[in-house]
Amino acid sequence: MRRALLLMWLVGCATDSAATKPTARPAAQQGEPMAADSRYAQYGEFAELAAFFDKFVDTILAHKGDCEGMARGLDGVIEANLSLVIKTNAMKDAGKRVPPALEEQMRNRIGEMMPAIQECGTHPKVQDTLKRMETRG
């Protein structure tokens, strides 16, 4: 559960938004920075974050039961997108909030990945990797 809360830094805060159907997700391609994707354009300045979050969750799901692989995969995703992680933390620190539709989509994805992250959430390498999400410039 603690790991889920760590991931909630991406969402920022709760709102009472209506549920929306998640958009199609790209396949997890570890180690590549996020590129512009028209599926996320509706989220404006948060489009890159939406794509990153999907890649992050897809990586967790792809490595369910393989904690070492999950740690390596997540490390690759975070490393390739470290500037986005830093930018997102700065936005969060400045009080910016993701749009309600994106927040709901992210919450749905968190629910989807909970079994996989709970299985590996106590693994030391996964924990160390997830701590990198708190990186600030």
pLDDT in tens, 39-48: 788 888 899 9
Nearest Cα to Cα of residue 101 among 17, 14, 38: 17
Nearest Cα to Cα of residue 23 among 37, 9, 10, 8: 37
pLDDT in tens, 15-61: 333 333 333 334 444 455 555 567 788 888 899 999 999 999 999 99
Contact between residue 83 and residue 27 where contact means Cβ atoms under 8 Å apart: no
Q: At what angle do helices 100-120 and 47-62 cross, to 10 degrees?
A: 20
For residues 104-126, average pLDDT? 93
Q: Percent of the chain scored above 90 by pLDDT?
A: 61
Contact between residue 4 and residue 117 where contact means Cβ atoms under 8 Å apart: yes
Nearest Cα to Cα of residue 55 among 42, 75, 41, 45: 75
